[in-house]
Amino acid sequence: MILFGLRDAGSINACLPVITVLKDKGIPVSVYAEGLAPEHLKDKLVFIPECKVGDLLDFVGPVLVVVTVANRNQGGSIPIDLNNEAKRRNLPTVLVEEVWGGHAASRWNILPDGICVCDEFAKHLILKSWPDYPKVHVHVTGMPVFDKYFEVKTNIARYKLRNTLGLNENWPVVFFAGQAWGMPQAVKMFVEAVNSFDKPFYLILADHPAVTFPKATDEFKKIYLEYRKELDYLRVGEVIDHGDFTSGEIMAGSDLVVGIYSTMTVEACYLRKPVLIIWTPEIGQSLIKARNNIMAEWPIVSLGAALKAESTKEIKSCLQKIFAGDTVATLKAQQKHFRTDGLSGERVAKAILSYYK
């Protein structure tokens, strides 16, 4: 039996395709969910609800434990407590990291036996944090959640989005990928920039689950109210309610994706969408804090796959460039660094099984 410990939407996205692969291979799998995970899993599969890790391991009796990481350590037993208790029982553990630097959000005193990461840069960050960790135990697998885009037809997604939401004007659809820390400032800058822009557009803002979760912290509730209020000042274009569309469906049908350091901006690179990252020193500090000082830049910018704006003037300039179709360079970078063959889930499953006894 392999036990997966999931805590948030990101860990679910990273592991659900892998769980499917393992089950198809006849490998018994159990899933433990805490934090935001139960809300996202309730219609997807059967899981074990929050309990003490000792009781969990006694009940499941796994021979291998897979842990995941939340975007920032918010308490709970995932990943540290579950990893530590499993290691005390001489059980092998594997960390599946959703995106760059997620491991640095937690303080590890016992390291997992193996780690699955999205690319070589993510591997570099692991070894930067843990320089003595065996390189051969860091497996570059790709991002399983994006295997679904192997054959996505974005032109069809675009038609469906516009037709269903009644977007009749020939305006670009801008998707703003929500985050928590930094959002009020980013939305304010964006609104100020586009208010001086003469091109109307449809704006769809998807809130991050952490700020809309019924048990969200007071800090997150305050952040949500602050950035949502900024939308009231938008004078150009129209803010659209996305209805029943998922974030992935909206993104596939959009013309531009805007964000801070949301995983959805990475997803947009796989979909070959123009991406604009809004950045300020304060937002950068938020990422540094979330990643424990190992990463100060969102990698899609460093890789040339997205534009970055650090002021309202730069946001306007980037929008003009994108709407003029000057996106060849970023598209080439996306094709180079964000390749998908639809087999990342298989690679993660293979890496996990190498520790399965």
At 336, which helix (H) or strand (E)?
helix 328-337
The proportion of the chain whose per-residue pLDDT surpasses 70, expressed as a percent, equals: 98
Alpha carbon distances (Å) from 231 to 61, 75, 238? 50, 32, 10
- In this prediction, residues 109-122 reach a mean pLDDT of 93
Distance between CA atoms of 221 and 59, rounded to whole angstroms?
A: 36
pLDDT on residue 329: 96
pLDDT on residue 140: 93
Mean pLDDT score of the chain, rounded to an integer? 90
- Can you tell me which residue has the tokens 């020939």? 170
Residue 72 pLDDT greater than 60, yes or no: no
Count of beta carbons in the 10 Å neighbourhood of residue 41: 18
- Is the Cα torsion angle 173, 300, 297, 70 positive or negative in sign? positive
- In this prediction, residues 29-47 reach a mean pLDDT of 88
Residue 228 pLDDT level (bands cut at 50, 70, 90): very high
Distance between CA atoms of 340 and 126, rounded to whole angstroms?
A: 22
Q: What does the DSSP 8-state code read for residue 48?
A: B
pLDDT in tens, 299-354: 999 889 999 999 999 999 999 999 999 999 999 999 888 877 889 999 999 999 99
The strand pairing partners of 96, in sequence order, are: 68, 116
Domain covering 151-337 in this structure, CATH number: 3.40.50.2000
Q: Which CATH architecture has domain 2-147+341-353?
A: 3-Layer(aba) Sandwich (3.40)
pLDDT on residue 161: 95
The proportion of the chain whose per-residue pLDDT surpasses 90, expressed as a percent, equals: 63
Distance between CA atoms of 14 and 96, rounded to whole angstroms?
A: 7
Q: Is 34 helix (H, G, I), strand (E, B) or coil?
A: coil
Residue 73 pLDDT greater than 60, yes or no: no
pLDDT on residue 6: 93
In the chain, beta strands by DSSP E: 2-6, 29-33, 64-68, 93-96, 114-117, 138-140, 173-177, 202-206, 238-239, 256-259, 275-278, 307-309
pLDDT in tens, 127-153: 999 999 999 999 999 889 888 877 767
Distance between CA atoms of 282 and 279, rounded to whole angstroms?
A: 8
* Lateral strand order in the sheet of 275-278: 238-239, 202-206, 173-177, 256-259, 275-278, 307-309
Residue 71 pLDDT greater than 60, yes or no: no
Take residue 118 and report the two structure tokens written for it: 């999205």
pLDDT in tens, 156-204: 999 999 999 999 999 999 999 988 888 999 999 999 999 988 889 999 9
pLDDT in tens, 239-276: 999 888 988 899 999 999 999 988 889 989 989 999 99
- Whether the domain at 2-147+341-353 and the domain at 151-337 fall into the same CATH topology: yes
Contact 315, 346 (CB under 8 A): no
Residue 74 pLDDT level (bands cut at 50, 70, 90): low
pTM beyond cutoff 0.85: no
pLDDT on residue 106: 85
| Percent of the chain as helix, strand, coil, to the nearest 5 | 45, 15, 40
What are the sequence ranges of the domains in the chain? 2-147+341-353, 151-337
Lowest mean pLDDT among 29-38, 68-77, 222-231, 290-299: 68-77
